[in-house]
Amino acid sequence: MDLKPETILIDVTGVLKLGDFGTARVYTLQYRAPEILLGSEDYTVAIDIWSIGRIFFDMLVAKNQQKRKLFDGKSEIDMLQEIFCKLGTPDEQKWPRVSSLPGFAFGFPKFPPQDITTLVAELDPAGLDLLSKMLCINPSQRITAKDALNHEYLKDDVTPGC
């Protein structure tokens, strides 16, 4: 599924549904996980977690009436450069076997990771922790859906319509 804000439907009672099932394995560039951008053919749930993390960021900045984007690449290479510039360029230590992915052969500059608090000042520490776990560059270390739902940031969630 191509997860992006346009494919999330919320009814008047606050129930969320996902649409756009017809584009499986085609992901909008702005919400595409780095492993897909690098040419991985291993489509896992971690890809959707990345997309949800991107949507989470967009919701935060929209709530504060801002129009900035976390990653604003115009092509796959440009998007990878944006991701690496903010989250750090992966290496074999951070992401084993990353250098075997077809797109990693381009020789990206070595960027250190930025402090996530500089990217999203709107979030409390628990929210920053959840966002950083959703946007973990190594897909095998990305938070699972179950762990995300049980995360401290979502513990005090209000029931829709209340």
Q: By three-state DSSP, how is residue 100 classified? A: helix
Query: Which residues 6+ apart lie within 8 Å of 106 measured at CB?
Result: 77, 80
State the CB neighbour count (10 A cutoff) for residue 129: 16
Residue at token pair 């935060």: 60
Backbone angles phi, psi at 123, to 5 degrees: -100, 145
DSSP-derived secondary structure for 112-153: PPPPGGGT-TTS-HHHHHHHHHHT-SSGGGSPPHHHHHTSGG
Burial group, residue 94, by CB count within 10 angstroms (0-12, 13-18, 19+): middle
The catalytic position among 2, 58, 129, 157 is 2
- Tell me if residue 2 is catalytic: yes
Q: Are 103 and 80 in contact (CB under 8 A)?
A: yes
Residues classed as catalytic: 2
